[in-house]
Structure 1
């Protein structure tokens, strides 16, 4: 069991540290494979068959198939590696981020242009427990 980290109390944030790097190693290696056009084509032709070539957990594979980026992050995915998946699908980073925040792409863009989410009440999970 690893020691708690100060950032473990930050809500809605998955910090990609050495723990997550170990957990997501094979998932991230799969993502990097998508840099090669021939691998993207194989993946597009049959997601499951291509994923089964990788030493990933079943949860990781299913998250990729579902394009559940938040789940992939929780399973050790690094957003910069995961970008290879949504780029392979012809989607923008902005679109993927909007799906991860649960808002439309237009609402996400508007929020970001306005400076992002307010940190008030969102600095620590322990703030939620007091209310």
Structure 2
């Protein structure tokens, strides 16, 4: 695998590296817990208490409350773990893609269809 050191990232891209993993450890640990239905239920019953249990910081808690996936990515969230959390909110990968692209879900779907036609 090639190193990304010294490379210029694509604007707006968050590289999930070791420092991001450390930054988002508690958040990702919480999201991993959502593999179990009883944990998803416990989260829905008491979001604040569940975030307390995993030690989320204030910024992470605010992003969870806002359902802001992009902010969660910036705060160390790993998309594969965040997918568990977003599923609880009824969001799918197209919803997240639309957030990343800064467009509505309908516009994002239209872009996907147009890209598939070329």
TM-score bucket of the superposed structures, by smaller chain: 0.7 to 0.9
Distance 1:16 1:6 in 2: 16
Rg larger in structure: 1
Distance 1:93 1:61 in 2: 21
Give yes or no for the alignment of 1:83 onto 2:87. no
Distance 1:30 1:8 in 2: 31
Query: Offset of 1:110 from its aligned partner?
Result: 1.7
Aligned residues: 113
Supply the RMSD in Å over aligned alpha carbons: 1.9
**Richer in helix (by share):** 2
Query: Offset of 1:81 from its aligned partner?
Result: 0.8
Q: TM-score, normalised by structure 1?
A: 0.77
Distance 2:20 2:114 in 1: 31
C-alpha contact (below 8 Å) 1:30/1:54 kept by paired residues: yes
Q: TM-score, normalised by structure 2?
A: 0.85
C-alpha contact (below 8 Å) 1:48/1:65 kept by paired residues: no
C-alpha contact (below 8 Å) 1:26/1:54 kept by paired residues: yes
> Structure 1: which 5+ residue stretches go unaligned?
117-131
Give yes or no for the alignment of 1:33 onto 2:69. no
Which residue pairs with 1:119 in the alignment? none
